Amino acid sequence: MSCASFLDNRNSAPVQTTKKSKIALVGLKLEELESILTEFSEPSFRGQQIFEWLYRSRVDLFDQMGNLPSDFRNALSEKFIIHPLKEVHVTGSSSEPTQKFLFELQSGEKVESVLMKEGKRTTLCISSQVGCAVNCDFCATASMGFQKNLSVGEIVDQFLHVRRAAKTNITNVVFMGMGEPFLNYNRVIAAADLMNAEKGIKLGAKRITISTVGITSKIKRYTDEKHRYKLAISLNGSSQESRLQTMPIAKKYPLEGLLTVIDNYSLTSRHPVTLEYVLMAGITDNIDDALKLIDMLTGHRCKLNVIPYNDIGGKYKRPADDVIEAFIIALKKAPFPVTVRWSKGTDIAAGCGQLAVMESSVIN
Ligand code: SAH
């Protein structure tokens, strides 16, 4: 099998095999690297060597892969490149240790990732799609529309580039950047598996969180497949009606069915889900909403994460601080844990829901 046809058959996005763009190695798992080797008449242990160079070391050039014969390195570089993404720009927040990275795909589209540091935890928020099809009313990514699914390599490469550029250990990864991870399910799971792989990046499963808008069928599948990554679900409403107000997808995946699959997940996996709840002034911030949330979620194995709305210049507003505080106080009676996420990097549009790449915002 030629490399191109082998790669085209993977569950990743079809690889562009035009003369201009070579195939990227980042994104391939061990068995895939090993099957490439047959074409070069190299022994299969080279697959392991390349795997470690790609994911464990921080090298960026074939010539730095010291334990590969130089002829083989040259032959590899004729056909392949290492990274599917090119770093275009990094923006640092002036008030917090938060950085936003802009990347370009081989096919020209752009995506963003956000690195946030807090205490001992360094979290990378990564994108799973260019744009998003879900169309939540309060999220900036929606304005881009859906452009494409990222490949496994384009997802994992965000991690590798940031780890190298930021010269830091990334302790946690959250799929909370652009896109709906469960509408790119196979590649997101394959990317999480690669980041979790023992001989590679080796990020613990519990340090990877996948956040979904609530694609019920995929939550079921995720439960059946017994993945160990943490699951977060964007609730964003205290009832079906309230969810529908800002999330058109709630029509297709109503709250009742969503809560059933969430229960099944937490019972089967024995792990609670985190329910994310964006606080929008006059929309989701009434004390009555807090009481409804307590009613609705009591008896369910979950955590509630309240996210004060980050401005995207749309029709919604962040509630005043005293309103946020009153909402949290009302939730004190809840029998489940409640946390508040004060988003990082809102001054550089890097907070939750603020990621959107507009052509005019691209700096070369
Ligand atoms: N599509 C996935 C992941 C991307 S959004 C999902 O829906 O879960 C990541 C989180 O940011 C979600 O919980 C979402 O509800 C929240 N979010 C979106 N826009 C926001 C905004 N403007 N302010 C605060 N949080 C927002």
> Is the pLDDT at 197 greater than 60, yes or no?
yes
231 lines ligand 1 (CB under 6 A): no
State the average pLDDT over residues 242-253.
98
pTM across the whole model: 0.92
- Which amino acid, residue 99? Q
Question: Quick check: is 117 in a domain?
Answer: yes
Model confidence band, residue 5 (pLDDT cutoffs 50, 70, 90): very low
Q: Per the residue annotation, which of 112, 154, 180, 276 is the catalytic one?
A: 112
Q: Is 316 exposed, middle or buried (0-12, 13-18, 19+ CB in 10 A)?
A: buried
In percent, how much of the chain has pLDDT > 90?
82
Rounded CA gap, 358 and 110, in Å? 9
Question: By alpha-carbon position, which residue is closest to atom 9 of ligand 1?
Answer: 176
Residue 300 sits in a domain of what CATH number?
Answer: 3.20.20.70
Query: Do 229 and 307 lie in a common domain?
Result: yes
Average pLDDT in the chain = 91
Task: Give the residue whose CA is nearest to atom 5 of ligand 1.
Answer: 176
Q: Give distance in angstroms: CA of 355 to centre of ligand 1.
A: 10
Residue 355 in domain: no
Q: How many domains does the chain have?
A: 2
Atom of ligand 1 nearest to the CA of 175: 3
Per-residue pLDDT, 20:
61
Q: Name residues whose C-beta falls within 8 Å of residue 142's C-beta, 6 or more positions apart in sequence.
A: 132, 134, 135, 136
Q: For residue 270, what are its two tokens?
A: 């024995």
Centre of ligand 1 to C-alpha 259, Å, is 19
| Nearest atom of ligand 1 to the alpha carbon of 212 | 8
Reported as a single tens digit per residue, the pLDDT across 36-80 is 998 898 998 999 999 999 999 988 899 999 999 999 999 999 999
Judge contact between 128 and 213, C-beta under 8 A: no
Q: Is 309 in the pocket of ligand 1 (CB under 6 A)?
A: yes
- Residue 56 or 359, more confident: 56
Residue 159 shares a structural domain with residue 252: yes
State residue 2's pLDDT score: 31
| Pocket lining: 346 vs ligand 1, CB cutoff 6 Å | no
- Does residue 172 lie within any of the structural domains? yes
Considering the domain architecture, whether residues 256 and 111 belong to the same structural domain is answered as yes
> Ligand 1: which atom is nearest the Cα of residue 134?
1
* 210 shares a domain with 335: yes
Confidence at residue 9, expressed as pLDDT on a 0 to 100 scale: 32
User: Can 352 be counted among the known catalytic residues?
Assistant: yes
Report the Cα–Cα distance between both ends of the chain, in Å, rounded.
Answer: 39
Query: What integer pLDDT is reported at residue 359 of this predicted model?
Result: 53
Q: Which of 124-128, 164-168, 173-177 has the lowest average pLDDT?
A: 164-168
Do 262 and 315 have their domain in common? yes
Amino acid present at 160: L
Q: What band does 285 get if pLDDT is binned at 50, 70 and 90?
A: very high
Whole-number Å distance, alpha carbon 260 to ligand 1 midpoint, is 22
Residues 58 and 91 in one domain: no
Query: Counting atoms of ligand 1 from 1, which one is nearest the CA of 139?
Result: 19
Residue of the CA atom closest to atom 11 of ligand 1: 352
